[in-house]
Amino acid sequence: MRDFDNYTSRDWIKNYGTSLRNPGIAFDFGAIYQIDEQITVSASLNNLGFISWKKDLNGITLKDKYHFKGLEYDTSNDNDNFFNDLFKNLADSIAHGVSYRVQHDKFKTTLAPVLHAGASYYLNNAVSVGFLSRSVFWKNGVRQSFNTSLCLQPYSFVAMNVGVTWQVKGNVYLGGGFMFLLGPLQFYLLTDYAPVHYSTIRIDDGEKYPVPERQKSLTVRTGLNLIFGRHGNTNKPMLDKGKSSWN
Domain chopping of the chain, boundaries: 24-54+107-239, 61-103
Report CA 223 to chain centroid distance, whole Å: 16
* 3-class secondary structure, 207: coil
Question: Are the C-beta atoms of residues 43 and 30 closer than 8 Å to each other?
Answer: yes
Q: What is the pLDDT of residue 167?
A: 86
Question: Are the C-beta atoms of residues 38 and 129 closer than 8 Å to each other?
Answer: no
Q: What is the pLDDT of residue 245?
A: 40
Give the global pTM: 0.60
Q: For the domain made up of 24-54+107-239, give the CATH fold.
A: Porin (2.40.160)
Listed in sequence order, the residues at least 6 apart from 11 whose beta carbon sits closer than 8 Å to its beta carbon are: none
Query: CA nearest 69: which of 48, 105, 108, 97?
Result: 97
Q: Report residue 232: phi and psi, to 5°.
A: -80, -15
Q: What is the pLDDT of residue 247?
A: 37
Distance separating alpha carbons of residues 54 and 185, to the nearest angstrom: 40
**For the chain (length 247 residues), average pLDDT per consecutive 10?**
58 63 88 92 94 75 66 61 66 65 76 95 92 91 93 88 89 90 88 82 74 79 82 44 41
